[in-house]
């Protein structure tokens, strides 16, 4: 998925493992901004098992690892 297609607050599935959970986008971090030491943009997500879960892990992904629902 391209970076410009990602919307903050939306929930997406994973491209390589589409049945293992969901990723709700919290923020898009540009290169060398905040906690992003990489030369490319990353996405800060809350990873959950189901779409309506109240708790999840905060993880960082590359934009190309997500897909639409």
Task: Spell out the domain ranges in the chain.
Answer: 3-67
| pLDDT level of residue 68 (50, 70, 90 thresholds) | confident
pLDDT digits (tens, 9 = 90+) for 26-67: 999 999 877 888 899 999 999 999 888 888 999 999 999 998
Beta sheet of 57-61, edge-to-edge order: 57-61, 42-48, 22-29, 11-14, 66-67
CA dist., res. 46 & res. 59, Å (int): 6
First-to-last alpha carbon distance for the chain, in angstroms, is 12
Predicted local distance difference test score (pLDDT) of residue 35: 83
Per-residue pLDDT at 69 exceeds 70: no
Residue 32 CB burial class (10 angstroms; 0-12, 13-18, ≥19): exposed
Predicted local distance difference test score (pLDDT) of residue 8: 95
Q: What is the average per-residue pLDDT within 4-16?
A: 91
């Amino acid at each position: 998925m391209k970076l410009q297609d990602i919307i903050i607050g939306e929930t997406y599935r994973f491209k390589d493992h589409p049945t293992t959970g969901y990723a709700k986008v919290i923020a898009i971090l540009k290169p060398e901004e905040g906690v992003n030491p990489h030369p490319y943009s990353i996405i800060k997500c809350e990873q959950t098992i189901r779409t309506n879960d109240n708790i999840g892990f905060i993880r960082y992904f590359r934009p190309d690892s997500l897909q639409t629902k």
